[in-house]
Structure 1
């Protein structure tokens, strides 16, 4: 009897790592760009962007790993919190007041809460 070889999963990055890495790269690049104080980009701006991106990747990957254990309401709230904190942090780098950054974060968190709850509710029916 001939057996078929199963394709190895070692040669590609799964979505559990790919999505947080892609989002973290965009987040880190944008955070480093917003932090620029002068005309030229300094190494501190690059380091800031890399660290911000790595923190985002870690939190997004951790949330992705535990999301199946959470009920849909809590899962939607967790994604809303991640989105709101990320947008609020990026907005705070523009030099605005803390109230504007918190307001922007809350606005996007509320939008993400509604959208993610709707998606999770429709997929689990």
Structure 2
């Protein structure tokens, strides 16, 4: 026996429900850059010593890299959401390329090789982020949140 199709379809929610509280988001705004900075600083220090002994200068390089990485991350995270998609993607790509290029330069490779590797990473990050930001906007260029 045939049945009539329902006249109205149920409305979908506008966005995915947020399962974390505002407090969790506030903590994550600080914890994520610091945790990633610590990993980055350790990696820079490990590349710098090249398997040799851990020295005071090596520790200083690691902690300085951690502080700079986390500070730049937090600054970009605060500033870039207000920018157009091109600048937004470009600033994050420049950050990723510079961070990788500096880390790679600690492996005693040439400056040209480190620069080339940083540019490859920056170009890749720019392409991915530009695509993401472009596909998450409406027709007028406003972000869909």
Work out whether the TM-score is over 0.5: yes
Q: Indicate the TM-score class for this superposition, using the shorter chain for normalisation.
A: 0.7 to 0.9
Structure whose alpha-carbon radius of gyration is higher: 2
Match of 1:43 among 31, 56, 76: 56
Match of 1:20 among 20, 25, 33: 33
Give the TM-score, by structure 2 length: 0.74
Runs of 4+ with >4 A deviation: none
Q: Which residue of 2 aligns with 1:80?
A: 93
Higher helix proportion? 1
Is 1:56 paired with 2:69? yes
Q: Which structure exhibits the higher relative contact order, with contacts defined as CA atoms closer than 8 Å and separated by 6 or more residues?
A: 1
Paired residues, what number? 118
RMSD: 1.9
Q: Show structure 1 runs of 5+ residues with no match.
A: 1-6
SS for the counterpart of 1:95 is: coil
